[in-house]
Amino acid sequence: MAKEFKRTYKFAAYTSSFLTFFLTLVVGVFFYVTKVEMYWFIIAFAIVCFSFSFFFIQYRVEKFIYRRVKKIYDDVRLLDASTFDKKQITTDMATLTREVERFAETKKIEIETLKGRENYRKEFMGNVSHELKTPLFTVQGYILTLLDGAMEDKAIRKKYLQRANKGVERLIYIVKDLDMITKLEVGDLNLNKERFNIIELIQGVFDLFEMKAAKKNITLTFDIDYKESIFVEADRERIQQVLTNLIVNSIKYGKKDGTTEVSIEDLIKNKVIVRVTDNGEGIPKDKIPRLFERFFRVDRSGSRKEGGSGLGLSIVKHILEAHDEKIYLESQLEVGSEFSFTLEKAK
């Protein structure tokens, strides 16, 4: 079905007026020089000249330009019909130019976004393959060694099977974390919100990782002695995972004889903010914007020695976003880091 065009007559009118003025001036000068007084002829000539020029120019414009303009519209609309407003197509070149410029700008932004996503996809796939490859090769190495004859020695067999089991556990850990992030991103993970005491939950996480912290002589503590309970409304299990990931990170990258301190403060009437502060190695400013990306590590070699899936902070971010809450980060090299997030107070 042909598109309906809105014709403009400005070009034909301006050009006809110019031609009429010029030709009428020439005829007038000629009559003046030849002493002929035919004013009625000059007026009639101007009317006929303007009418003929206008209709002839408009016809030529519509025949040769109109079709080309229509083709441009059709070609561009074919690329993306949603980019253009549902208006009549015009032969006005200024309007067409604005439409095409707007289309080009939109496409430029889309192309840049797609390039960014493509780079992120490539990096993500590289990280996934690397994270899975290490434990897979480890497990394969131990199994092949056992198959080559080492299984005859009971001591070696038990040791290698235990190490292979650790590799499998790491694989399961990574896959489970990836599965959780995917569910969080697509909104497929249902939150079971309930009323609970955040002080009690934090103390439980402290007790869980007390021995891990003791290996580096790191103290897990509150900023003050909270004598009264602070109740929040959230998914208890998911918030425990958030606290676990943040506290484990603070232990991993904390200094020996250091401290991991947690505080809870009133933010606004219906919100509290939970802060997890350490005096560890800190994070460079240029790394902070990417810290919550999947598999992103500040120090890749050192981070892998510490273990983990590289997905902990990404999971933290997604869990809090699923709660419609925010997470904040302040860090300074050789001074420490502070992760803080908001929670809704229980009614």
3-state secondary structure (DSSP) of residue 208: helix
**Taking residues 69-94, what's their average pLDDT?**
56
pLDDT (tens digit per residue) in 206-248:
998 888 888 899 999 998 888 888 999 999 989 998 999 899 8
Which residues does 196 contact at the CB level (< 8 Å), separation at least 6? 231, 232, 234, 236, 346
For residue 342, what pLDDT is reported?
92
Residue 309 has pLDDT above 50, yes or no: yes
Residues 140, 143, 147, 148, CA torsion sign:
positive
- DSSP secondary structure, 119-130, as one string: HHHHHHHHHHHH
Q: Are strands 327-332 and 259-268 parallel, antiparallel or unpaired?
A: unpaired
Residue 263: is it exposed, middle or buried by C-beta count within 10 angstroms (0-12/13-18/19+)?
middle
Euclidean distance between CA atoms 78 and 87, whole angstroms = 16
Give 111: exposed, middle or buried? Use CB within 10 Å, 0-12, 13-18, 19+.
exposed
Taking 3-state DSSP, the helix, strand and coil percentages for the chain, each rounded to the nearest 5, stand at 60, 15, 25
Tens of pLDDT along 19-40? 888 888 888 888 778 877 777 7
Question: pLDDT tier at 201 (50, 70, 90 boundaries)?
Answer: very high
Residues 6+ apart with CB under 8 A from 166: none
**CB within 8 Å of 97: residues ≥ 6 apart:** none
For the whole prediction, is pTM greater than 0.85?
A: no
Query: Residue 66, SS3?
Result: helix
Q: What's the pLDDT band for 120 if we cut at 50, 70, 90?
A: low
Positive or negative torsion for Cα 211, 212, 216, 219: negative
Compute the radius of gyration of the chain from its Cα atoms.
37
Sequence-ordered strand ranges (E) for the chain = 5-6, 89-90, 193-197, 219-222, 231-235, 259-268, 271-278, 327-332, 336-344
State how far the Cα of 254 lies from the Cα of 146, in Å rounded to an integer: 38
* CA torsion through residues 29, 34, 36, 37, sign: positive
- For 5, list phi and psi in degrees, rounded to 5: -105, 145
CB atoms within 10 A of CB 37: 10
Torsion of Cα atoms, 10 then 52 then 71 then 89, to 10°: 40
Any idea how long the chain is?
Answer: 347
Query: pLDDT (tens digit, 9 = 90+) per residue, 152-190?
Result: 888 888 888 888 888 888 788 778 777 777 777 676 677
The domains of the chain, with CATH numbers, are 1-86 (no CATH), 126-186 (1.10.287.130), 194-344 (3.30.565.10)
